[in-house]
Chains A and B, each alone.
Chain A
Amino acid sequence: MNIEITNLRFTYPTGLEALKGINLTINSGEQVAIVGQNGAGKTTLVRHFNGLLKPTSGTIFIGEWETTKFSVAKLASRVGYVFQNPDDQLFSRDVLTEVTFGPRNLGYEKAKIEELVQRALSLTELTDKTDTNPYDLSPTWRKMIALASIIAMDTPIVIFDEPTTGQDAVNVARIANVIAELRNEGKTVITITHDIDFCAENFERVVALSNGQVLLDGPAREVLGQEKVLAQTYVDPPQLTRLGKRLGLKETVTRQEEFLRAIE
């Protein structure tokens, strides 16, 4: 299911123009990272994908649905959105009920709901915690519950808003694993992140936003190599990329394997 954004502009009621003409196409099954300085418009942009915000002008199509013509609850069947702070959405007594909430809202059959919930719980390694109250678990596990509760909705498009903020290495690896699994299932994953190493290792395409406009858009290696342009939106290329540049490597490297191959 493609996302088609044409001339998207958005102004907040306070008069702040957050998006100034965005044109972007995200194809079905792509893994896209959105980077850029604070206030560049990243969250404002992705909140348009599931209709939480409606464009001031311009259009967004999710498949053949124009977002202005559908309610958020309806769009939730196509776009899953994991919020930054899990505590803004967890309310159930136990993990199982929490994760079942989304798919039940979407009106799937009972058997399917059970299957989706079990799959989401095993992906996020929560299977042995189903009876626990979410607030008895650590913040890192609450983050995984928030992830599971969206994955269980089985939407073709999944959005993560800064999934790795405040997470330890083990949990970042878990999140990377979830994203890889979603890719194998052919889902579109869009992630807002400030964690540029995480971005380099897990995403094929990177979109850099600056001041409400698309600054760079392309394969991760091309975008992350442009140190000077990225500096405009206060993004540093990954350490390996910068080291590769200093060593005078011909190609831009972003991941360990590439780096090792290049210096051989």
Chain B
Amino acid sequence: MNLNRSFFVPVNSPLHNLNPLTKLALVFSMILPAFLSLPQLAPFLAIPILIAVFIGRVQKQYFNLLLKLVLPTILFMFVMQSLFLPGGETVILNLGIFDVTRESMQSAFYTVSRIFVMISSFAILLLTTHPSELMSDLTRRGLPGQFAYVIISTLQILPQMQAKAQTIIAAQRSRGLDTESSFRKRIGSLVPLVGPLVFGSLVEVEERAIAIEARGFTSKRVKTSLHEIPDPAFDKILRGILVILVIASFTLNLWLS
């Protein structure tokens, strides 16, 4: 069965071809100004984000994610913040003890814009970068291997356990286990499912540990990589520009406030 093990969308686009570090720099050149520069800046950052979505040719997956995950989150936050943020004089709406003021709504709008920028830029990074490519590039630049392993396995553990659970459920149903009827029966049927799942996962962790150690995971020597990740001059220049832009946005903030 073909289960999608990450968010990655395997298409060819200028964004896909960028070095992973450059993409990470792009993400932070969105997030840092959004959170640390003028609050008015954050909503405008939606423009480069939307452009990036189309350059990366991941519109379908991005808007899918936006609809299912991002929009519900930021809508909820917007409502809560509008209702509960104290201060502000211009009352727009009065709901019993709660006042929705112009100021609280404005502040809520800036907050959700920041959240939107953060989630969206990370989403685009994950949609256009294979997680193992990102991690091998970062480990090559000095990120500890253990750290990369933790991130990679976190990204993969859910889909893997899901696939394993499916097999176990199929095996136990084949032995006449009723998983389709009353709630009480279903609770009782959890035991035959959890046992093999937990045991199997422990065995898998041990096997994986042995497998990566057999390839010198904790070896202190400098490792070479079979898979070369290109880092052309264009990427280096772009990263330089991004650093300047981020500094400029901070300076702007200091200047105007």
Report which A residues bind B (CB closer than 8 A): 12, 14, 16, 47, 50, 52, 71-73, 76-77, 79-81, 83, 85, 87-91, 101-102, 105-106, 135, 149-150, 153
The answer to whether A76 touches B175, judged by C-beta atoms less than 8 angstroms apart, is yes
Least CB separation from B174: chain A residue: A81
Report which B residues bind A (CB closer than 8 A): 1-2, 164, 167-168, 170-180, 191-196, 199-200, 203
What are 13 A-B residue pairs whose CB atoms fall within 8 Å in the complex? A12-B2, A72-B170, A73-B173, A73-B180, A76-B173, A76-B176, A83-B170, A88-B167, A89-B196, A90-B195, A91-B193, A105-B175, A105-B177
Query: What 4 A-B pairs have minimum CB-CB distances, sorted nearest first?
Result: A105-B176, A91-B195, A76-B176, A89-B171
Nearest Cβ in chain B — how far from A44, in angstroms? Answer: 10
The answer to whether A101 touches B192, judged by C-beta atoms less than 8 angstroms apart, is yes
- 10 new A-B contacts, CB < 8 A, other than A73-B176, A83-B167, are A14-B1, A52-B173, A72-B173, A72-B174, A73-B178, A79-B174, A83-B171, A83-B174, A91-B192, A102-B175
Interface majority SS on B: helix, strand, loop or mixed? Answer: helix
Q: Which of A85, A87, A91, A153 contacts B176 (CB 8 A)?
A: A153
The answer to whether B203 touches A87, judged by C-beta atoms less than 8 angstroms apart, is yes
Q: Which of B2, B174, B196 contacts A16 (CB 8 A)?
A: B2
Least CB separation from B191: chain A residue: A91
Least CB separation from A76: chain B residue: B176
Chain B residues with CB under 8 Å of A106's CB are 176
Nearest Cβ in chain A — how far from B194, in angstroms? Answer: 8
Most chain A Cβ neighbours within 10 Å, of B164, B175, B191, B194: B175
- Measured in the bound complex, the distance between the Cα atoms of B175 and A153 in whole Å is 8
A-B CB contacts (within 8 Å), total count: 75
- Measured in the bound complex, the distance between the Cα atoms of B170 and A47 in whole Å is 9
Q: Which of B180, B194, B200 contacts A88 (CB 8 A)?
A: B200
The answer to whether B195 touches A101, judged by C-beta atoms less than 8 angstroms apart, is no
Least CB separation from A89: chain B residue: B171
The answer to whether B174 touches A50, judged by C-beta atoms less than 8 angstroms apart, is yes
Nearest Cβ in chain A — how far from B32, in angstroms? Answer: 39
Chain A residues with CB under 8 Å of B194's CB are 91
The answer to whether A73 touches B196, judged by C-beta atoms less than 8 angstroms apart, is no
Most chain A Cβ neighbours within 10 Å, of B2, B168, B174, B191: B174
Chain B residues with CB under 8 Å of A87's CB are 196, 199-200, 203
Chain A residues with CB under 8 Å of B174's CB are 50, 52, 72, 76, 79-81, 83, 150
The answer to whether A73 touches B199, judged by C-beta atoms less than 8 angstroms apart, is no
Chain A residues with CB under 8 Å of B200's CB are 87-88
- Measured in the bound complex, the distance between the Cα atoms of B178 and A102 in whole Å is 11
Chain B residues with CB under 8 Å of A47's CB are 170
Chain B residues with CB under 8 Å of A81's CB are 171, 174
Chain B residues with CB under 8 Å of A88's CB are 164, 167-168, 171, 196, 200
- Measured in the bound complex, the distance between the Cα atoms of B2 and A16 in whole Å is 9
- Measured in the bound complex, the distance between the Cα atoms of B151 and A245 in whole Å is 57
Nearest Cβ in chain A — how far from B254, in angstroms? Answer: 53
Nearest Cβ in chain A — how far from B203, in angstroms? Answer: 7
Chain A residues with CB under 8 Å of B203's CB are 87
Q: Which of B168, B178, B193 contacts A105 (CB 8 A)?
A: B178
Least CB separation from A103: chain B residue: B176
The answer to whether B170 touches A52, judged by C-beta atoms less than 8 angstroms apart, is yes
- Measured in the bound complex, the distance between the Cα atoms of B177 and A71 in whole Å is 10
- Measured in the bound complex, the distance between the Cα atoms of B193 and A47 in whole Å is 19
Chain B residues with CB under 8 Å of A76's CB are 173-176
Chain B residues with CB under 8 Å of A89's CB are 168, 171-172, 175, 192, 196
Chain A residues with CB under 8 Å of B176's CB are 73, 76-77, 102, 105-106, 153
Nearest Cβ in chain B — how far from A25, in angstroms? Answer: 22
- Measured in the bound complex, the distance between the Cα atoms of B2 and A83 in whole Å is 19
- Measured in the bound complex, the distance between the Cα atoms of B178 and A147 in whole Å is 20
Most chain B Cβ neighbours within 10 Å, of A52, A89, A105, A135: A89
Chain A residues with CB under 8 Å of B164's CB are 88
Chain B residues with CB under 8 Å of A80's CB are 174
Chain B residues with CB under 8 Å of A72's CB are 170, 173-174, 180
Least CB separation from A90: chain B residue: B196
Chain A residues with CB under 8 Å of B168's CB are 88-89
- Measured in the bound complex, the distance between the Cα atoms of B196 and A101 in whole Å is 15
